Amino acid sequence: MALATCVIFWRVSWKPMVGVLTGIVLLGAVPPQWPETILRMSPFLSEPQEGHVVFCKAGRSSTVLLLEREGYYTMRTNGLPEAGIARRGSPPGDWEAHRWLAVLPVLARPQTESMLMVGLGGGTALAGTPQTVRRIDVVELEPEVVTANRAIAKQRDYDPLADPRVRVILNDARSALMLSTKRYDAIVSQPSHPWTAGASHLYTREFAELAQAHLNPGGVFLQWMNSSLVDETLFRSVGATLLDVFPHVRLYRPNPEILLFVASDQPLPIEHNLSEPTSEESGETLFDALMAASRHELQWLGINSVQDVAAALALEEKGVARLCRGAPVNTDNDNRLALWSPRRLLTAADFDIDELLAPLDPIVDSASRLNSSPLFRPNRVYLARRLANRHLWARAERVAQSISDPASRWLAVGLVAAKRGEADQARRALLESLTLDSDNPNALFAYLEPMLIPLARGQADPAVTQLASSLR
């Protein structure tokens, strides 16, 4: 066709045609290479993302790239990271914390049976959906994201598309909801980055209102956010936007990066409700019943008790209200997240979210609802260690220092220091705890734990051996 065009216009102007013909010949001799490096890059990466290309296809709204590296997959759309996916048999990675997105609404409302998930991603969030949820609708904008998931279905432990509860709807989330009268017990919103064309309108008041209209009474709306995408102003705006629609909003933070805003038209005393007995005769609590039905999904996240849920609670309703009420609301006409969140990444602004949340910490605040519940009593030693396990260091230390009993306080300080690899500080703190309470088996075991191998080989210091004998 190009050659025919050249022939037709040759008489009109033959000199430009020489250049066109030369270009065609060069393209035939040296065809352009696949732009792999470009597909592996984004404005927020200094180097291309490494890994073997498993899937790559240009879709309707984005180019979807799936890479395999060291036992896991990473999904990228238009160069932006979207999801991490573990291969079958691989140990859990940091991305597994996204399972909280499906678990938390059920912890908030254990009677949840229907759920809408905005965004399929790598299907990691769906993998965490408790078995008590019977129906899951997933709205996905990009069909090639679904195709990419199918491409690795046999290489993963959980295939979200093979789950009989899951129904995938290919559409924009707002369009899908406007075309439906269906209501859900929970709606989980985990769209792509808030400045992208297909997702920016899913962080606004108008979308929150649309979601609220499709919730059953008492239903839960969960909004995902990454802490690296917000500064103090944007954080307050996210909370204010939800408060403009829902009277009750809480914040959970299962790891340093993930922020989960839980919103409802009814109160959310989650830890208190989970501690309620289901019957006076058995003594079984609501959490016990949920654990019996969905043990795998809960224990995968390290949730073995209500204490583990409390460890993720960053702000109660009053904390969100105090921090966020009155802040600018994110709207379709004034979309602050779409405008400012990419600048937050590019400028690497100095913002410590823990410093912002610290004054309203519900674990430390003796007047918090968490500490006032007649059914649930926070174990601050356990919570400090749990927070340290999640690498929330500043909060772990703050919780440890808030313990009134000196022996327990030194124990918590020692446990946090040990997790950070500060062996000398941990040993001193644990010795202080044992000096104050020599009969505390937890402090004794924590002190002896680094010396278990020398003890087993009979090579430990005599004083340590004598201490160990008291554990028998």
State mean pLDDT over 158-172. Answer: 96
**pLDDT tens digits along 49-74:** 678 899 999 999 998 999 998 888 99
Q: What is the pLDDT of residue 393?
A: 97
Q: What is the pLDDT of residue 334?
A: 95
How many whole angstroms separate alpha carbon 198 and alpha carbon 191? 8
Q: Quick one: residue 323, left, alpha or beta (phi over 0 = left, psi -120 to 50 = alpha)?
A: alpha
Is the pLDDT at 262 greater than 90, yes or no? yes
Strand ranges for 89-174 from DSSP E: 114-118, 135-140, 166-170
Q: What is the pLDDT of residue 43?
A: 60
Q: What is the pLDDT of residue 235?
A: 96
Report the percent of the chain where pLDDT is more than 70.
88
How many whole angstroms separate alpha carbon 392 and alpha carbon 414? 15
Among 62-71, 256-265, 366-375, 446-455, where is mean pLDDT lowest? Answer: 446-455
How does residue 419 score in pLDDT terms, banded at 50, 70 and 90? very high
How many whole angstroms separate alpha carbon 156 and alpha carbon 54? 14
Q: What is the pLDDT of residue 44?
A: 57
| Sheet of 166-170, strand order | 166-170, 135-140, 114-118, 184-189, 215-226, 258-264, 248-252, 313-315
Q: What is the pLDDT of residue 80?
A: 84
Say how many residues make up the chain. 472
Q: What is the pLDDT of residue 341?
A: 85
- The type of residue at 446 is A
**pLDDT tens digits along 141-158:** 999 999 999 999 999 989
Q: What is the CA radius of gyration of the chain?
A: 27
How does residue 131 score in pLDDT terms, banded at 50, 70 and 90? very high
> Mapping DSSP to helix (H, G, I), strand (E, B) and coil, where does residue 53 land?
strand
Q: What is the pLDDT of residue 188?
A: 98
Is the pLDDT at 5 greater than 60, yes or no? no
Domains in the chain, ordered, with CATH? 1-32 (no CATH), 36-86 (no CATH), 99-360 (3.40.50.150), 379-469 (1.25.40)
Report the percent of the chain where pLDDT is more than 90.
68
Q: Are β-strands 135-140 and 166-170 bridged in parallel, bridged antiparallel, or unpaired? A: parallel
Higher pLDDT, 466 or 412: 412
State mean pLDDT over 434-463. Answer: 85
Higher pLDDT, 465 or 154: 154
How many whole angstroms separate alpha carbon 344 and alpha carbon 327? 18
Is the pLDDT at 95 greater than 90, yes or no? no
DSSP states of 174-235 as a string? HHHHHT----EEEEEE--S-TTSTTTGGGSSHHHHHHHHHTEEEEEEEEEEEEGGG--HHHH
Q: What is the pLDDT of residue 447?
A: 86
Calculate the average pLDDT of the chain: 89
How many whole angstroms separate alpha carbon 401 and alpha carbon 6? 81
Is the pLDDT at 133 greater than 70, yes or no? yes
Percentages of the chain per state (helix, strand, coil), in multiples of 5? 45, 15, 35
Q: How many CA atoms lie within 13 A of 361 on its CB side?
A: 24
Q: What is the pLDDT of residue 217?
A: 98
Q: Are β-strands 63-69 and 52-58 bridged in parallel, bridged antiparallel, or unpaired? A: antiparallel
Q: What is the pLDDT of residue 21?
A: 60
**Do residues 129 and 98 lie in contact, with contact meaning Cβ atoms separated by under 8 Å?**
no
Q: What is the pLDDT of residue 439?
A: 87
Q: How many CA atoms lie within 13 A of 274 on its CB side?
A: 26
**pLDDT tens digits along 335-381:** 999 988 877 766 656 678 999 999 999 999 999 999 999 999 999 99
How many whole angstroms separate alpha carbon 94 and alpha carbon 287? 25
Q: What is the pLDDT of residue 340?
A: 87
Backbone dihedral angles phi then psi of residue 95, each to the nearest 5 degrees: -65, -20
How many whole angstroms separate alpha carbon 397 and alpha carbon 148? 42
The set of residues, in sequence order, having a beta carbon less than 8 Å from that of 141 and lying 6+ positions away, is: 61, 119, 170, 171, 172, 173, 198, 199
Q: Pick from 90, 51, 55, 85: which is nearest to 71 by CA?
A: 90
Among 74-78, 119-123, 164-168, where is mean pLDDT lowest? Answer: 74-78
State mean pLDDT over 100-120. Answer: 98
How many whole angstroms separate alpha carbon 368 and alpha carbon 399? 14
Backbone dihedral angles phi then psi of residue 75, each to the nearest 5 degrees: -105, 135
Is the pLDDT at 464 greater than 90, yes or no? no
Q: Pick from 53, 57, 2: which is nearest to 25 by CA?
A: 2
Among 88-97, 131-140, 387-396, where is mean pLDDT lowest? Answer: 88-97
State mean pLDDT over 90-110. Answer: 89
**Do residues 234 and 246 lie in contact, with contact meaning Cβ atoms separated by under 8 Å?**
no
**pLDDT tens digits along 211-249:** 999 999 999 999 999 998 899 999 999 999 999 999 999
Could you tell me the maximum CA-CA distance found in the chain, to the nearest angstrom? 104
